[in-house]
Structure 1
Amino acid sequence: MSFADELRATALALSAPGKGILAADESTGTIGKRLASIGVENAIENRVALRELLFSAPGFEKYVSGVILFDETLRSTGKSGTSFAEMLRSRGVTPGIKVDAGTRALDASPNETFTQGLDGLAERCEEYYAMGARFAKWRAVLTIDEAKGLPSALALAENANALARYASACQSRGLVPIVEPEILMDGAHGIEVCGAVTRRVLDAVFSALRLHGVQLDGMILKPNMVTPGASAKTSANVDAEVARATVAALCDTVPPSVPGILFLSGGQSEEEATERLRLMNTTQKADRAPWTLSFSYGRALQASCLKAWGGKSENVSAAQAAFLDRCKSNSEASIRR
């Protein structure tokens, strides 16, 4: 059975102009840290309550095309007894699933990582498809350290190949792969260094995707923005510089057949992630960018919402209002002008 047409249709739907993806795929440990920040216990009932708060927000489907879920969340139900996957589908929002198993250190380069989860991946994808998921996500993590020559050729090759194997396995089971090569913001490097590394990484990734026969119009790219290191000195005009540098790097490396580039927020504040996306869609080079430039944010959509909620049922409406405000702002930022 060929999924080519379905993959293409799903990728286009996820890349619809004015919409983006909510990354609600935090692992149990990661969401525990988010809950701890508002004084809430990391119990399954609290994890489910937070996800239901997000997925039931009135009108969020106007701004969100898909939601990435964690395994536990895909298997969970809301208060009505309806699965979260069905709840999303009933609102015209496509459910997705995180399929990687986290990172571990490379033996030959212990300051770098590779992503686990390829064993049994095709079978898991088949199960997730049967449960209603129609796309998947796999995150690779790369680090810039000029003094140590990072990212190394080994880390680039290992992570690009794993992303390609993941993407091929997903497509063979009907899931659109979100390909996420994240270059961390850690460090004091300048924006030019990040731009050069981003080009190297994306060149390696797309070479591997082609080698593994991945259908490029049936995938989504989720890259980092081209930013200076978190501890670098920046100019007052850094948001515009990030927008220009990011679009330039993408125009140099990403094939036009890819329907959507949906950015990760990667340590940026809510306001930075939104403003930089808005500027990308207003740069001169954006006129020749053939793909949708939009968002696939986690913290940059949820931070204000979490604070407003505080784990209290009486705050759900206020928390949903904060979430919708972030969704709307990023929707507007993703529209090409």
Structure 2
Amino acid sequence: MLPTKIKLLVLTPSLVGGGAEKIVFNILNKLDKSKFAITLLIPLGSESVIIPDVNVIRLKNKRISRSIFEIITLMREGKFDYIFTTHFHYSIVAFLAKTLAFSGAKNFVRESNYRSEIVKSLSGKLFYSFFYNFCCHKLILQSPNMETVYHNYFKVKKNKTLVIPNFLDGDSIIDKSKEKINFSKSKGNIKTVMSFGRLEKAKGFDLLIKDIALNINESSNLVFYIFGDGSEFDNLQNLIINNKLSDKIKLMGFVNNPYPFILQADIIALPSRLEGFPNIVLECLKLNKRVISYDISGVVDIPYIDKVPCQPGLFIERLLEVLNESDKDYSVDLSHFESSIKKYESIFSF
């Protein structure tokens, strides 16, 4: 007789795009399917990818909040052991559906952001504190620093939190980095700087552009490529044009596979104002690339990267220093992140 598989229900907006979605994809792809029967719920119209031995159910509505009765029915029929979410509004819907379905499933909520940077009102703090303490089985946080912040800021009980670092699928990154791309790196002593992320205010690409303008003479041998799409595209393009930097900074749009491009970079720039735990940093380190970032909460627990105070002019200044330090490959130990899938398998087996 075959052993009974653990039934895991996952709710996510999609498996394509941002960091949180990529983490979910990597986890689902690597969980041991001989132990887990996985069902993935995604909204109508969202992009998805095929994951072997994962049952993908596309909901009938584009908005998760309007799918609650459909989710209740699926929970009653599925008799799941665990529920896993990584977007807060999905976590709320999952909790309500679980409650109304009289499901005994344990719900695990993964936080991908420092909500203390966003939630400032007393009512907001009380709401999040109540949800984390009383509406989820466990709150998964990505680093010890993030756990400390949630304990202190939202008064989350210590027995409610688990620290599991972002899972890094190193073998997949190396394999995908071998894809051939149409990209010509600058010749001679010109250095290639790359950035990756959504073109939104939080990602700080406007800060990077302004810093380049402040250091235009010092950065004469640098060319910058920014990969990503978002609501700030036109504003960033205008900022580039107004500072006469069109020959130096290129907005490249979104690419499904950033890894072969990363291989072409001399250094990676992360100018974000706000991050949870940027997985792109780990991916770049896996490909032996130096990373420079503003010294923000989200990068405190990431080793091996160069952190710069958030002051005008300092980012490019430090970037140039790092480029001049060494041209050798930058190899670091990321086994702590590559083995974290085992922690997910263990928590879904309580």
> TM-score when scaled to structure 2?
0.30
Larger RCO (CA within 8 A; separation ≥ 6):
1
Structure with the bigger percentage of helix = 1
> TM-score when scaled to structure 1?
0.30
Specify the structure having the higher radius of gyration (Cα): 2
